[in-house]
Chains A and B, each alone.
Chain A
């Protein structure tokens, strides 16, 4: 199978180091993961995330359909607002995590994981029978960039003053010179920022998207903006304690053990796929729970490594080096009795058990200094 590419492929090839991610040739870094990570934490960075899935869901039955497909309360979602939500199977396992935006009464926009593009679309289509709804996938017609960091707002404001009034998880449509875009105040880094959807940018005609990318980099130049690859995207989301589908959550994980109970609305009026199974799970005590671990010794935890107390108690699902904390950090699942803050645990790295402890992980960093909640100025 040939690799898929985004509009920015030539740029990535010339400026970055390419890797295969979910079948796409994407940059893992341009300058390096650490400087790119730091640009986003301290100023601003720009990511090409066109590999992600995007679809419009439209029609009189769209609201009822999405209420049935997703764990969140779509009927309560105001126009031009987004919701982080889950799509589950009948067993309550997570098919994907995604953001659903309501654009109008009967028009929605879904943004989901690159690795699940085909699966999600199939699942939506299979279940759409009986609903007055049309699903239109636009991943190859709408480029997607993510501008992230404390200086993201000032950067984008130079091109479009109105974006400053956009609140977290709001989405709006803007005209920037010749580009027709939707901007949402969302991201996957823990920082303030925007996810930008550049409308009418078919893959076969990449230059319009490329030109927008360059325009954003020019706008951010005074803030030291850096193009950022998937490496920094991963270290940033890990520090923010955000799940990566396929690592921290999958079809065998239920939302409660993943600590995503807040996005499951069991009390919503409409039934949804997985609701009955999740009602049963909600009654039971979870067998394992997602935790954050910070290592106290030098070493780098990675996916699949064992977590120990007196005995082996679980596995790391995401791990790595945290540039902000300058230490190894991890997320993983352990039985609830080991999930209390400061519980000593060890992570097995090759033949050694390295000391660490359970820490606050959503996010791992100090929120008064980093992240979108930080005090400005």
Chain B
């Protein structure tokens, strides 16, 4: 089964398959990529962090579980968690249906954004990265 994954060019991607979207007010949304949701398939449980928590880059901020697999969510950037997508608790499938929209996971106030963004991949580089993985 071959698939074309949606990889919006305005996002930055991590090797662990999270995405970061910097908003106009300087905050950033974090979620998992279309590729990640497709690999996990059929998410049935999401464990979310508490708002207010301070996180470092690459720290585990939650867990997503499909019928078959468990996967940690790493924060691709450092900062403070401002908001958590509570809708995912009852509807984890939002991540499958709309990984970059309704399936966002946390909103963060970044601490060290510019240098950390440089560590992430743009959509072209990420596309090549996942092609190598599959």
List chain A positions with a Cβ less than 8 A from chain B.
Answer: 13-17, 28-29, 32-34, 231, 235, 298-300, 302, 320-321, 323, 328, 350
Given A14-B1, A34-B42, do A350 and B63 touch, yes or no (CB 8 Å)? yes
Question: Is B117 in the interface zone, CB < 8 Å from A?
Answer: no
Give the docked Cα–Cα distance between A29 and B63 (Å). Answer: 22
How many pairs of A and B residues are in contact by the CB < 8 Å rule?
Answer: 36
Contacts of B63 in A (CB 8 A): 350
The reply to whether B70 and A302 form a contact with Cβ atoms under 8 Å apart is yes
Give the docked Cα–Cα distance between A235 and B89 (Å). Answer: 22
Contacts of A328 in B (CB 8 A): 45
The reply to whether A32 and B44 form a contact with Cβ atoms under 8 Å apart is no
Give which listed residue, A29, A34, A300, contacts B65 with CB less than 8 A. A300
How far does the Cβ of B127 sit from chain A's closest Cβ, in whole Å? 20
Besides the contacts A34-B67, A300-B44, what 5 more A-B pairs have beta carbons closer than 8 Å?
A: A16-B1, A32-B42, A34-B42, A300-B45, A321-B67
The reply to whether B67 and A320 form a contact with Cβ atoms under 8 Å apart is yes
The reply to whether B44 and A17 form a contact with Cβ atoms under 8 Å apart is no
| A16 and chain B: residue at smallest CB distance | B1
Give the docked Cα–Cα distance between A320 and B44 (Å). Answer: 10
Give the docked Cα–Cα distance between A323 and B66 (Å). Answer: 12
Give the docked Cα–Cα distance between A321 and B67 (Å). Answer: 6
| B39 and chain A: residue at smallest CB distance | A17
| A235 and chain B: residue at smallest CB distance | B67
Give the docked Cα–Cα distance between A231 and B40 (Å). Answer: 12
Give the docked Cα–Cα distance between A33 and B67 (Å). Answer: 7
Question: Is B68 in the interface zone, CB < 8 Å from A?
Answer: yes
Given A28-B68, A33-B67, do A299 and B41 touch, yes or no (CB 8 Å)? no
Contacts of B70 in A (CB 8 A): 300, 302
Give the docked Cα–Cα distance between A361 and B11 (Å). Answer: 46
Give the docked Cα–Cα distance between A14 and B3 (Å). Answer: 11
Contacts of B1 in A (CB 8 A): 13-17
Given A14-B1, A15-B1, do A32 and B41 touch, yes or no (CB 8 Å)? yes
What are 5 A-B pairs with beta-carbon distances under 8 A? A13-B1, A32-B41, A231-B68, A320-B67, A321-B45
Contacts of A321 in B (CB 8 A): 44-45, 65, 67
Contacts of A235 in B (CB 8 A): 67
Give which listed residue, A29, A302, A320, A350, contacts B41 with CB less than 8 A. A29
Contacts of B67 in A (CB 8 A): 33-34, 231, 235, 320-321, 323
The reply to whether A299 and B42 form a contact with Cβ atoms under 8 Å apart is no
Contacts of B47 in A (CB 8 A): 350
| A19 and chain B: residue at smallest CB distance | B68
Given A32-B41, A33-B42, A34-B42, do A298 and B65 touch, yes or no (CB 8 Å)? no
The reply to whether B45 and A33 form a contact with Cβ atoms under 8 Å apart is no
Contacts of B89 in A (CB 8 A): 298
Closest 9 CB pairs of A and B: A33-B67, A321-B44, A32-B42, A300-B65, A321-B67, A300-B45, A34-B42, A231-B68, A33-B42
Most A CB within 10 A of own CB, among B42, B45, B67, B89: B67
Contacts of B45 in A (CB 8 A): 298-300, 321, 328
How far does the Cβ of A21 sit from chain B's closest Cβ, in whole Å? 12
Give the docked Cα–Cα distance between A321 and B47 (Å). Answer: 15
Within 8 A of A (CB), among B64-93: 65, 67-68, 70, 89
| B63 and chain A: residue at smallest CB distance | A350
Contacts of A16 in B (CB 8 A): 1
Give the docked Cα–Cα distance between A33 and B89 (Å). Answer: 20
Give the docked Cα–Cα distance between A231 and B68 (Å). Answer: 7
Most A CB within 10 A of own CB, among B41, B47, B65, B68: B68
Give the docked Cα–Cα distance between A235 and B70 (Å). Answer: 16
How far does the Cβ of A227 sit from chain B's closest Cβ, in whole Å? 13
Mark interface residues in B1-19 (1 if CB within 8 Å of A CB, else 0).
1000000000000000000
Contacts of B44 in A (CB 8 A): 300, 321
Given A298-B89, A302-B70, do A17 and B65 touch, yes or no (CB 8 Å)? no
How far does the Cβ of B54 sit from chain A's closest Cβ, in whole Å? 18
How far does the Cβ of B92 sit from chain A's closest Cβ, in whole Å? 10
Give the docked Cα–Cα distance between A235 and B44 (Å). Answer: 13
How far does the Cβ of B84 sit from chain A's closest Cβ, in whole Å? 15
Give the docked Cα–Cα distance between A17 and B42 (Å). Answer: 13
How far does the Cβ of B64 sit from chain A's closest Cβ, in whole Å? 11
Give the docked Cα–Cα distance between A28 and B1 (Å). Answer: 12
